[in-house]
Amino acid sequence: MNPNDLELIHRYLDGQITETELQVFEHSLKDSNELRQEFVQATLLDESLRHALGKVVNEGPKNESVSLAESQVGFSKGAIRWRSVVVVLATSILLLMGLFLLSNRNQLSASEEFSRMLKSLSKGDRLYRIDVEQVVLPSKKQMDKYDRTRPPKPTLEGAKLYVRGLDQFVLMRFVDDALRFVTGSDGQIGWAIAPSGPVRISSDTQRFNRDLPGHEHSIPLGNLSQGLERIQKAYAVQIVAAASNEQFEEQEAMLIATKKSGERGPKRIEIQYGKQSGRIAQFRFVEMPYGPERLTVRLILLDELSLPDNFFSHAYHHPSDQDVIDEDTEQK
Partner 1 sequence: MQDIAIAVLESFDRYDPSQPFAAWAIGVARNQVRLYFRTLHRDRLRFSDSIIDLLSEDFSKISTSELHRLEHLQTCVDKLDARAKELCQARYSENQKPAQIAQWLGGSPNGVAKALQRIREQLKDCIQRHVQLDGGSL
Only segment of 47-55, 62-70, 108-116, 225-233 that touches partner 1 (CB under 8 A)? 47-55
Q: Is residue 324 part of the contact set for partner 1 (CB under 8 A)?
A: no
Q: Is residue 24 part of the contact set for partner 1 (CB under 8 A)?
A: no
Q: Is residue 52 part of the contact set for partner 1 (CB under 8 A)?
A: yes
Minimum CB distance to partner 1, residue 234 (Å): 17
Only segment of 91-99, 144-152, 226-234, 273-281 that touches partner 1 (CB under 8 A)? 91-99
Only segment of 59-67, 93-101, 162-170, 225-233 that touches partner 1 (CB under 8 A)? 93-101
Only segment of 7-15, 134-142, 192-200, 212-220 that touches partner 1 (CB under 8 A)? 7-15
Distances (CA, A) of 148 to 68, 152, 153, 287, 292: 17, 8, 12, 21, 9
HEC states along 230-264?
Answer: HHHHHEEEEEEEEEEECCCCEEEEEEEEEECCCCC
**Of the candidate residues 16, 71, 122, 276, the single one contacting partner 1 (CB under 8 A):** 16
H or E segment to which residue 193 belongs = strand 190-193
Gap between the terminal Cα atoms of the chain: 79
Q: Is residue 63 part of the contact set for partner 1 (CB under 8 A)?
A: no
State the Cα–Cα distance between residues 207 and 190, nearest whole angstrom. 6
Q: State whether residue 290 is helix, strand or coil.
A: strand
Classify residue 260 as exposed, middle or buried by CB count within 10 Å of its CB (0-12, 13-18, 19+). Answer: exposed
Only segment of 9-17, 119-127, 189-197, 276-284 that touches partner 1 (CB under 8 A)? 9-17
Angle, to 10 degrees, between the axis of helix 33-53 and the axis of helix 77-97?
150
**Of the candidate residues 4, 71, 72, 92, the single one contacting partner 1 (CB under 8 A):** 92
State the Cα–Cα distance between residues 36 and 42, nearest whole angstrom. 10
Distances (CA, A) of 122 to 125, 164, 165: 9, 7, 4
**Closest listed residue to residue 167, CA positions, set 186, 193, 191, 189:** 186
Looking at residue 125, its amino acid is D
Q: Is residue 311 part of the contact set for partner 1 (CB under 8 A)?
A: no
> Which positions from 148 to 187 touch partner 1 by CB under 8 A, shown as an x/- string?
----------------------------------------
Q: Is residue 77 part of the contact set for partner 1 (CB under 8 A)?
A: no
State the Cα–Cα distance between residues 166 and 45, nearest whole angstrom. 41
Q: Is residue 235 part of the contact set for partner 1 (CB under 8 A)?
A: no
Q: Is residue 66 part of the contact set for partner 1 (CB under 8 A)?
A: no
> Which positions from 243 to 282 touch partner 1 by CB under 8 A, shown as an x/- string?
xx-x---------x-x---------x--------------
Question: Measured in whole angstroms, how far is the alpha carbon of residue 190 from the centre of its chain?
Answer: 24
Q: Is residue 95 part of the contact set for partner 1 (CB under 8 A)?
A: yes
Q: Is residue 90 part of the contact set for partner 1 (CB under 8 A)?
A: yes
- Please state the length of the chain: 332
Q: Is residue 128 part of the contact set for partner 1 (CB under 8 A)?
A: no
Binding residues (CB under 8 A) for partner 1: these are 7, 10-19, 22, 26, 29-30, 36-37, 39-42, 44-50, 52-54, 78, 82, 85-86, 88-97, 99-106, 238, 243-244, 246, 256, 258, 268
